[in-house]
C-alpha cells in the first residue's frame, strides 16, 4: 500500500484517529471544547468537528485561528513541518504512518514487527522529548541494523565528490534501524526513510550517527573517548599538507579530492599536543580548515594562537558563511575543484613567506642583469643524482673537477626533452613535468656562479634558463639565516611548479657554525632528510672528506654518512690528466664494486667529455688500496682483534651491513692485507705493509 494523503485519511477514519492520538486526554469527543495544546489557553476554545464540504475531520481554534486546520496541519505544527512543502508533507505522512501503526509503507511494516516482538517495551523516538532536546550520546539497545546504500543516498554523497569506495574506506555505513535508550531509560527507534537517511561513522568501539535532514543531526552510540580523531588511520606515513577540518563529511570530501585530512569531535575541541607533535614530523603543513561561521573562525584564531609553537596554520574559505556556504564540503559542492583549494593554500603561503620571498628575490641570479666581474675566486661545486626521498653527497678536493661534473648533471636536469647531451657519464632522469630544479650556493661569488651557469646553459643547448630553474648565491647571507631561506623558498617553489625534480646545496658546512657541532649537525641532516621524504625529491649536498679518505669530515660528516643513500668522491687522476668519480656508498651492494667513471677536457669539443670507465685492473687496485687504508686506521687503535670485533669496526668505518663487512674481511685475507695473529690465532692483525 502506498503512503498518500488519501491512504492516511482512509486508514484513520477521515483523520479522526490522528486527532485522538496526538490530543490524547484533551480530546473526549467530537464537538466538545478543550484547551489548546499549542499555547497557554485559559479558556476551552478548541474543538474537533467534521467538515461536510471536504468530508474529513478538522481542528478549530477560536482563540487563535492560526492553529485551525486538518489533521496533517496539526501534525505539521507539532513537528515544525509545513504542508505546503512537498518534502515536508511527505515527512508528515511518514510520521502519522509510523506513530499510528498504519503499515502504509514497507519500511514501517518491518519496524512495527520489531515493536510487536518486543511486546510494547519500545516507544517511538518522536514520542520521547529528550531525543529532540540536544542530547548527544546514547546507548544502543540492540546491534545497529545496516543496509546497502540506496541510489539517493549515494547521490547525496556524490555532490561532495564522495563515492562508494571512499565510504567503504572510511567505514561509513547506511543505517536501517537504530534501537537506543534515552537518558531517562526509555527505549526508542530511529528509522531511515528516503527523505531522512541515517548514516554511521564506525569507530572501534562506537558509531557516530549522522542524519543530515533531521532535527537531531548527530548521535554518538558506544564508548566515546576524548581523543576521537576521525581519519587518522587512513593517513599516509608522510605528506606535505594535512587539513584539520570541522567534521567527518569534510574529511571524506577532502580525501576524495586528493588531500590528507582528519577531524576531532567538533571545531571547539582541544587539539592534544602529543597528537600535533606526532603529526608535525609526518606532515610539513598542518592547517586548520574550519567552517567560516562565527564558531569556526573563532576556534581557528584561538587554536593558532594557543598552539603557535607547532606552526599551526589556518585557511579561511571564500564562502558567505550561510548554511549552504560555510565548509569545505559546500566549497566542492558549489563546483570548486582541488586546484582551486590548492590556489587558496598557495596564496596563504605567499602571505606567510612574504618576507622570505622578498629576501630571496635579492639573491636570485638575474640573467638579464649579470653582475660586474670581480677578482677571480676559486670555488668548489658538487652534484649527484639519486632516488627520490634521499640525501646524496659528493666530495672532492679543490681542482678535482667537481664544478664541471656538477655542470654536466644540472645540464641533464634542465635540458629540453628528447635530446641527448653528454652528462659526463652520469645518467640523469629527464624533467618531463618541468618541476623545480634548485641550486643554493653558499661558497662561490655571484659572478663565478653566473659564469658557471652560462656553461651549464651551453651544455644543455639552452640560451636562457627555464623559469623553473632557480639558482641563488647565498654568500652575502649570514649563516643563521641561510637554512631558513632555503627551507621556505623550497616549499614555495614546490607548490608553484608542482614538485621539485632536483635540489643542490653547494656547501652544507656553511649552514652551521662548525662541522663538529653535534647537536646542530643532527638537527640539520634530520631536517634535510625529512624534507627529501615530504617533497619526494633528491637533495644533493657537498662536504669534505676526513684525512683517512673513507669518512666525511666532523660530526656533520658522520650524520651525512649515516643518512645519505649514496656518497660520491671526485679525484684528480694526474696520470691520465682527467677526473675520476668513485662511489663511496651505495644503497645496495658494495661501493668498491661500482665501476670508476672518468671524464676530462677534449680540445676538439672545447669542453669536458665522458671518457668511459676505468679498467678492471684499476678498479681492483683501487679496491685493495682503499681497504688497506681502512685496515691501517682500524688496527692503529688496537693491534689485533677477533672476527666479531673487526666486523663491527668495518661496519662503522664504511657504513655497510654485517654481510658486506665479512666479505671485505675475506678479501683482506685473500690479498694479504690482514692475517691471523701469531700470538693468538683466534684474532686477526695487520700485515706489515710499506707506507
- Region 285-295: what's the mean pLDDT? 92
- Region 316-345: what's the mean pLDDT? 92
Q: Are 178 and 221 in contact (CB under 8 A)?
A: yes
Which residue's entry shows cell 652528462?
423
3-state helix, strand, coil in the chain (%, to 5): 40, 20, 40
> If DSSP states are collapsed to H, E and C, what string results for 545-572?
ECCCCCCECHHHHHHHHHHCCEEEEEEE
CA dist list (Å): 647 to 304, 468, 550, 584, 643: 52, 47, 16, 18, 6
- Find, among 530, 562, 99, the residue nearest to 543 by Cα: 562
- Return the bridge partners of 220, or none: 137, 208
Q: What does the pLDDT read at residue 345?
A: 94
Q: In this model, does residue 71 exceed pLDDT 80?
A: yes
* Count of other CB atoms within 10 angstroms of residue 576: 13
Axis-axis angle for helices 354-363, 338-352 (nearest 10):
80
Q: Could you tell me the end-to-end alpha-carbon distance of the chain, in angstroms, rounded to an integer?
A: 104
- Return the bridge partners of 287, or none: 243, 313
Least confident stretch, 19-28, 395-404, 413-422: 395-404
Q: In this model, does residue 331 exceed pLDDT 90?
A: yes
Which residue's entry shows cell 543516498?
153
Q: 11 by DSSP, 3-state: which?
A: helix
* Count of other CB atoms within 10 angstroms of residue 470: 22
Q: Where does 386-532 show beta strands of DSSP type E? A: 391-396, 436-441, 469-473, 500-506
Q: In this model, does residue 241 exceed pLDDT 80?
A: yes
pLDDT level of residue 394 (50, 70, 90 thresholds)? confident
Q: What does the pLDDT read at residue 132?
A: 34
Report how far residue 258's alpha carbon sits from residue 265's, in angstroms, rounded to the nearest whole number. Answer: 23
Report how far residue 287's alpha carbon sits from residue 378's, in angstroms, rounded to the nearest whole number. Answer: 45
Locate 545 and state its grid cell. 672528506
Q: Are 543 and 561 in contact (CB under 8 A)?
A: no
Report how far residue 609's alpha carbon sits from residue 409's, in angstroms, rounded to the nearest whole number. Answer: 12
Q: In this model, does residue 231 exceed pLDDT 60?
A: yes
Q: In this model, does residue 128 exceed pLDDT 50?
A: no
Strand order in the sheet with 674-676: 640-641, 684-686, 674-676
For residues 363-378, b (16+ Cβ closer than 10 Å) or e, as one string? bebeeeeeeeeeeeee
Percent of the chain with pLDDT over 70: 88
For residues 329-355, b (16+ Cβ closer than 10 Å) or e, as one string? bbbbbeebeeeebbebbeebbeeebee
- Find, among 82, 78, 81, the residue nearest to 22 by Cα: 78
Most confident region among 589-593, 622-626, 677-681 by mean pLDDT: 622-626
- Region 571-599: what's the mean pLDDT? 76
Q: In this model, does residue 623 exceed pLDDT 70?
A: yes
Mean pLDDT of all residues in the chain? 82
Report how far residue 91's alpha carbon sits from residue 238's, in angstroms, rounded to the nearest whole number. Answer: 47
Q: In this model, does residue 178 exceed pLDDT 80?
A: yes
Locate 187 and state its grid cell. 527505549
Report how far residue 217's alpha carbon sits from residue 199's, in angstroms, rounded to the nearest whole number. Answer: 10
Report how far residue 628's alpha carbon sits from residue 620's, in angstroms, rounded to the nearest whole number. Answer: 12
- Find, among 281, 233, 224, the residue nearest to 261 by Cα: 233
Q: What does the pLDDT read at residue 588?
A: 62
Least confident stretch, 130-139, 182-191, 468-477, 554-563: 130-139
Q: What does the pLDDT read at residue 163?
A: 94
- Find, among 585, 560, 599, 566, the residue nearest to 656 by Cα: 585
The residues near 174 (Cβ < 8 Å, ≥ 6 apart) are 146, 147, 148, 149, 150, 153, 192, 197, 198, 199, 200
Report how far residue 254's alpha carbon sits from residue 268's, in angstroms, rounded to the nearest whole number. Answer: 20
- Find, among 352, 389, 397, 327, the residue nearest to 565 by Cα: 389
Locate 584 and state its grid cell. 663511496
Q: What does the pLDDT read at residue 329?
A: 94
Least confident stretch, 66-80, 123-137, 414-428: 123-137
Locate 261 and state its grid cell. 585530512
Q: In this model, does residue 134 exceed pLDDT 80?
A: no
- Find, among 70, 56, 189, the residue nearest to 123 by Cα: 189
Q: Are 71 and 18 in contact (CB under 8 A)?
A: yes
H/E stretch holding 189 reads strand 187-191
The residues near 95 (Cβ < 8 Å, ≥ 6 apart) are 75, 79, 126
Q: What does the pLDDT read at residue 141?
A: 55
Q: In this model, does residue 121 exceed pLDDT 50?
A: no
pLDDT tens profile 20-58: 888 887 888 888 888 888 877 778 888 899 999 999 999
pLDDT tens profile 490-528: 999 999 999 988 888 888 888 888 878 888 888 888 889
Which residue's entry shows cell 496526538?
22
pLDDT tens profile 561-575: 888 877 888 888 767
Q: In this model, does residue 215 exceed pLDDT 50?
A: yes
Q: In this model, does residue 583 exceed pLDDT 80?
A: no
Report how far residue 136's alpha carbon sits from residue 341's, in angstroms, rounded to the nearest whole number. Answer: 32
Which residue's entry shows cell 676526513?
546
Q: What does the pLDDT read at residue 255?
A: 96
- Region 137-166: what's the mean pLDDT? 84
The residues near 545 (Cβ < 8 Å, ≥ 6 apart) are 395, 551, 552, 553, 557, 569
Report how far residue 474's alpha carbon sits from residue 283's, in angstroms, rounded to the nearest whole number. Answer: 27
Q: What does the pLDDT read at residue 252?
A: 96
* Count of other CB atoms within 10 angstroms of residue 76: 21
Q: In this model, does residue 689 exceed pLDDT 50?
A: yes
Locate 238 and state its grid cell. 608522510
Q: What does the pLDDT read at residue 216?
A: 78
Q: What does the pLDDT read at residue 452?
A: 85
Amino acid at each position: 500500500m502506498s503512503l498518500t494523503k488519501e491512504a492516511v485519511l482512509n486508514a484513520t477514519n477521515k483523520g479522526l484517529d490522528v486527532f485522538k492520538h496526538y490530543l490524547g486526554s484533551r480530546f473526549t469527543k467530537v464537538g466538545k471544547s478543550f484547551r489548546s495544546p499549542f499555547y497557554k489557553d485559559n479558556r476551552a476554545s478548541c474543538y474537533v468537528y467534521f467538515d461536510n464540504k471536504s468530508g474529513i475531520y478538522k481542528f478549530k481554534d477560536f482563540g487563535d485561528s492560526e492553529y485551525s486546520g486538518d489533521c496533517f496541519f496539526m501534525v505539521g505544527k507539532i513537528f515544525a513541518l509545513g504542508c505546503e512543502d512537498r518534502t515536508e508533507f511527505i515527512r508528515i505522512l511518514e510520521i502519522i504512518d509510523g506513530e499510528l501503526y498504519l503499515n502504509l509503507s514497507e519500511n514501517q511494516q518491518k519496524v512495527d514487527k520489531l515493536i510487536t516482538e518486543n511486546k510494547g517495551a519500545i516507544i517511538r523516538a518522536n514520542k520521547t522529548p529528550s531525543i529532540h532536546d540536544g542530547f548527544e550520546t546514547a546507548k544502543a539497545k540492540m546491534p545497529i541494523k545496516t543496509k546497502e546504500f540506496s541510489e539517493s543516498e549515494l547521490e547525496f554523497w556524490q555532490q561532495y565528490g564522495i563515492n562508494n569506495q571512499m565510504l567503504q574506506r572510511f567505514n561509513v555505513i547506511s543505517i536501517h534501524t537504530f534501537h537506543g535508550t534515552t537518558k531517562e531509560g526509555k527505549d526508542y527507534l530511529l528509522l531511515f526513510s528516503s527523505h531522512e537517511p541515517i548514516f554511521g561513522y564506525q569507530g572501534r568501539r562506537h558509531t557516530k550517527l549522522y542524519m543530515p535532514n533531521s532535527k537531531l543531526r548527530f548521535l554518538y552510540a558506544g564508548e566515546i573517548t576524548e581523543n576521537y580523531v576521525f581519519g587518522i588511520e587512513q593517513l599516509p606515513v608522510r605528506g606535505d599538507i594535512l587539513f584539520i577540518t570541522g567534521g567527518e563529511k569534510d574529511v571524506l570530501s577532502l580525501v576524495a579530492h586528493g588531500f590528507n585530512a582528519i577531524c576531532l569531535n567538533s571545531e571547539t575541541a582541544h587539539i592534544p599536543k602529543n597528537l600535533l607533535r606526532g603529526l608535525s614530523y609526518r606532515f610539513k603543513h598542518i592547517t586548520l580548515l574550519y567552517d567560516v561561521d562565527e564558531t569556526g573562525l573563532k576556534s581557528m584564531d584561538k587554536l593558532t594562537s594557543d598552539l603557535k609553537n607547532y606552526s599551526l596554520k589556518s585557511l579561511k574559505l571564500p564562502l558567505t558563511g550561510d548554511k549552504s556556504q560555510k565548509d569545505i564540503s559546500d566549497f566542492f559542492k558549489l563546483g570548486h575543484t582541488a586546484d582551486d583549494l590548492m590556489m587558496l593554500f598557495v596564496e596563504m603561503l605567499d602571505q606567510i613567506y612574504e618576507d622570505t620571498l622578498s629576501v630571496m628575490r635579492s639573491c636570485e641570479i638575474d640573467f638579464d642583469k649579470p653582475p660586474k666581474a670581480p677578482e677571480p675566486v676559486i670555488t668548489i661545486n658538487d652534484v649527484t643524482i639519486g632516488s627520490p626521498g634521499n640525501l646524496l653527497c659528493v666530495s672532492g678536493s679543490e681542482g678535482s673537477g667537481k664544478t664541471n661534473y656538477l655542470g654536466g648533471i644540472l645540464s641533464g636536469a634542465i635540458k629540453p626533452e628528447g635530446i641527448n647531451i653528454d652528462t659526463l657519464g652520469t645518467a640523469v632522469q629527464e624533467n618531463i613535468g618541468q618541476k623545480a630544479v634548485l641550486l643554493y650556493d653558499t661558497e662561490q661569488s655571484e659572478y663565478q656562479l653566473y659564469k658557471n651557469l652560462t656553461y651549464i646553459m651551453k651544455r644543455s643547448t639552452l640560451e636562457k634558463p627555464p623559469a623553473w630553474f632557480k639558482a641563488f648565491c647565498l654568500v652575502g647571507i649570514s649563516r643563521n639565516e641561510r637554512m631558513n631561506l632555503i627551507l621556505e623558498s623550497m616549499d614555495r617553489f614546490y607548490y608553484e611548479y608542482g614538485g621539485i625534480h632536483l635540489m643542490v646545496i653547494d656547501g652544507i658546512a656553511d649552514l652551521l657554525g662548525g662541522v663538529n657541532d653535534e647537536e646542530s649537525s643532527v638537527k640539520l641532516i634530520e631536517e634535510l632528510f625529512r624534507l627529501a621524504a615530504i617533497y619526494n625529491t633528491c637533495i644533493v649536498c657537498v662536504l669534505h672528506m676526513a684525512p683517512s679518505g673513507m669518512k666525511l669530515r666532523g660530526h656533520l660528516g658522520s650524520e651525512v654518512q649515516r643518512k645519505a643513500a649514496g656518497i660520491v668522491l671526485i679525484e684528480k687522476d694526474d696520470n691520465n690528466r682527467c677526473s675520476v668519480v668513485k662511489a663511496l656508498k651505495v644503497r645496495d651492494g658494495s661501493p668498491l664494486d661500482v665501476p670508476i667513471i672518468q671524464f676530462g677536457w677534449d680540445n676538439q669539443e672545447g669542453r669536458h667529455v665522458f671518457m668511459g670507465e676505468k679498467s678492471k685492473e684499476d678498479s681492483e687496485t683501487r679496491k685493495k688500496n682503499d681497504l688497506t687504508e681502512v685496515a691501517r686506521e682500524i688496527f692503529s687503535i688496537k693491534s689485533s682483534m677477533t672476527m666479531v670485533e673487526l666486523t663491527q669496526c668495518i661496519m662503522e668505518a664504511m657504513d655497510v651491513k654485517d654481510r658486506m663487512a665479512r666479505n671485505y674481511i675475506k678479501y683482506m685475507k685473500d690479498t694479504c692485507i690482514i692475517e691471523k695473529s701469531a700470538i693468538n690465532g683466534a684474532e686477526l692483525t695487520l700485515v706489515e705493509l710499506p707506507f
